[in-house]
Amino acid sequence: MSAPAARGPIVTIDGPAAVGKTTVGRMLAESLGYLCLDSGLFYRAVALGTVRAGGDPDSPDDALAAAQALRLRFGPDPSGRFAARTFDGACDITEALISPEVDRTVSLVSRIREVRAAMLEPQREALREGNIVALGRDIGTVVCPEADLKIYLDASPDVRAQRRWKERRDAGGQMDIADIRENLHARDRIDSQRSIAPLQAAPDAVIISTDDATPGEVVGAIRAAMAARGLIRGG
Site for ligand DC in 44-73 (CB under 6 A): 44
Residues 23, 30, 40, 209: which binds ligand DC (CB under 6 A)?
40
220 forms bridges with which residues in the sheet? Answer: none
Q: Of 53-61, 106-114, 169-177, 216-224, which part binds ligand DC (CB under 6 A)?
A: 106-114
Nearer to ligand DC, 148 or 191 (CB): 191
User: Quick check: 39 binds ligand DC (CB under 6 A)?
Assistant: yes
DSSP at 232: S
Q: Is 235 helix (H, G, I), strand (E, B) or coil?
A: coil
Residues 25, 26, 36, 43: which binds ligand DC (CB under 6 A)?
43
Sheet strands (E) in the chain: 10-14, 35-38, 72-76, 83-88, 91-92, 132-136, 149-154, 206-209
Distance (Å, rounded) from C-alpha 228 to C-alpha 156? 28
User: From the CB of 233, what's the least distance to ligand DC, in Å?
Assistant: 30
Apex CA 93: angle with CA 189 and CA 32, to 5°?
A: 75
User: Quick check: 25 binds ligand DC (CB under 6 A)?
Assistant: no
User: Quick check: 17 binds ligand DC (CB under 6 A)?
Assistant: yes
Residue 235 near residue 7 (C-beta atoms within 8 A):
no
Positive or negative torsion for Cα 194, 176, 98, 52: positive
Distance (Å, rounded) from C-alpha 164 to C-alpha 144? 27
Q: What x-and-dash track marks residues 133-172 binding ligand DC by CB under 6 A?
A: ---xxxx---------------------------------
Nearer to ligand DC, 9 or 15 (CB): 15
Nearer to ligand DC, 21 or 223 (CB): 21
Site for ligand DC in 193-232 (CB under 6 A): none
User: Quick check: 12 binds ligand DC (CB under 6 A)?
Assistant: no
Residues 110, 141, 183, 210: which binds ligand DC (CB under 6 A)?
110
Apex CA 67: angle with CA 63 and CA 68, to 5°?
A: 120
Residues 50, 107, 141, 183: which binds ligand DC (CB under 6 A)?
107
Positive or negative torsion for Cα 152, 154, 160, 163: negative
Residues in contact with ligand DC by the rule CB under 6 A: 17, 39-40, 43-44, 106-107, 110, 136-139, 187, 191
